[in-house]
Amino acid sequence: MTEYLGLSVAEYEAYVRNGAGALKTLLNPSGLLAIPIYQLDFDGERKTIPFAFMGIDALHKANYTQPPAAEYRLMCEDTLICPVDRSEAQVLEQIFSRYNGELPEGYHGRSLAPSDVVELHEQGKRSYFYRDKENFVPVNFSPFFVKPMKEITKSLPEGD
Q: 5 lies in a domain? A: no
Which pLDDT score, from 0 to 100, does residue 29 have?
Answer: 47
Q: 38 lies in a domain? A: yes
Q: 105 lies in a domain? A: yes
- Exposed/middle/buried for residue 51 (C-beta within 10 Å: 0-12, 13-18, 19+): buried
Q: 45 lies in a domain? A: yes
Which pLDDT score, from 0 to 100, does residue 135 have?
Answer: 95
Please tell me the distance from the alpha carbon of residue 94 to that of residue 112, in angstroms, as a whole number.
12
Q: 4 lies in a domain? A: no
Q: 36 lies in a domain? A: yes
Contact between 64 and 142 (Cβ < 8 Å): no
In the chain, the amino acid numbered 92 is: L
Q: What is the DSSP letter of 156?
A: P
Q: 103 lies in a domain? A: yes
Which pLDDT score, from 0 to 100, does residue 43 have?
Answer: 83
Domain enclosing residue 125, as ranges: 28-145
Which pLDDT score, from 0 to 100, does residue 24 have?
Answer: 62
Number of domains the chain contains: 1
Q: 39 lies in a domain? A: yes
The alpha carbon of residue 79 and the mean position of all alpha carbons in its chain are separated, in whole angstroms, by 9
Average pLDDT of each block of 10 consecutive residues along the chain (160 residues)? 61 73 57 86 81 96 96 91 78 91 86 96 86 96 92 56
